[in-house]
Amino acid sequence: MTDIDVVSPYAEDDDTVADAALRPKRLDEFVGQERVREQLSLVIDAASRRGRPPDHVLLSGSPGLGKTTLAMIIASELGAPMRITSGPAIERAGDLAALLTTLCEGEVLFLDEIHRMARPAEEMLYVAMEDFRVDVVVGKGPGATAIPLDVAPFTLVGATTRAGLLPGPLRDRFGFTAHLDFYSPEELERVLVRSAALLGVALDSEGAEEISRRARGTPRIANRLLRRVRDYAEVRADGVVTRSVARAALKVYEVDELGLDRLDHAVLDALLRRFGGGPVGLTTLAVAVAEEPETVETVAEPFLVRAGMLARTPRGRVATAAAWRHLGLRPPALLAADPALFDPADLARSEPP
């Protein structure tokens, strides 16, 4: 047995390195979320003038919108060290106590997926956030003793994709709460131009526009598509990402003009062709596309609902007129007659199966 750590040569791939390189380091480099940036700037500047750590910050929003990046920017703007962990990693109150008692004064603790933290640790966090103290229980039964331990003043930055799952007492202890919205295509174009410059990719304005329209309002997806289009441009074109090159590349990677990918198309295809547009239960739909129900619910459904192609009803998932039209199918007459889900004008625009 050796105490030398063996690291796989594949542990850090090019995409991981690229993601880290593309993260802005300062608030003025961060694209989009203008209101949140202004509010955070005031919180950070006021705390710096007082010479004290800022209030705890809660960031909510869908994956890929910049919650982790903003947490890193907060630490960078404060000139403070940063500790990163996640809710699922903290299984017991003792895990949290060990983490909190080793923090330095002014340190930023980033707690990702905070809504998935264990309840005993969550209750300990209440006191730590408010009084900078943790109570460690020693022993069991009537002889158990609570030993208070001081915690250096710190700033907790919590991130969650499901803010509704956070209990009220925890939400109330955050001094500043921000919700990150999806990006407009114009904002994503600015993200792509900045990323292309950092990656050394020749990207023209039409190429940036084409990629931004298919990025589902998410910078992380935009940057990922840019890297894949870059690969295509270098291998099958002259290295310049134009509109035609972007279209050809995204066709190869099965990303259509609305940003739907392979899984999205599989879900819609199963819902329309196998189940007549629904309603159908989540588990049944997941089995039909050979995926886990959680994958369908958390990866495919949010965008399909936002794009107006899928509706969640008490009876199950139902396709809308936009879904039938997007796949070039005509909805059955019974479903087409439901004004809640279908616009009769769509029938004229739909192609027969």
- Residues serving a catalytic function are 67-68, 112, 161, 220
Does residue 282 sit in helix, strand or coil?
Answer: helix
Tokens representing 315 are 């009876």
DSSP string over 189-242: HHHHHHHHHHHT-EE-HHHHHHHHHTSTT-HHHHHHHHHHHHHHHHHHSSSEE-
Longest dimension (CA), the chain: 77
Tokens of 339: 């004004």
Q: What are phi and psi of 162, to 5 degrees?
A: -140, 75
Which residues are paired to 280 by β-bridges?
317
Helix-strand-coil percent breakdown of the chain, rounded to 5?
50, 15, 35
Which of 101, 103, 170, 97 minimizes the C-alpha distance to 137? 97
Measured distance CA(13)–CA(17) in Å, rounded: 6
Rounded CA separation 315/306 (Å): 19
Helix boundaries (H) for the chain: 14-22, 34-50, 67-78, 93-100, 119-131, 168-171, 185-199, 205-213, 219-236, 243-252, 262-269, 282-288, 293-295, 301-306, 321-326, 333-336, 345-349
Burial of 330 (0-12, 13-18, 19+ CB in 10 A): middle
Q: What residues contact residue 135 under an 8 Å CB cut-off, 6+ apart? A: 124, 127, 146, 147, 148, 149
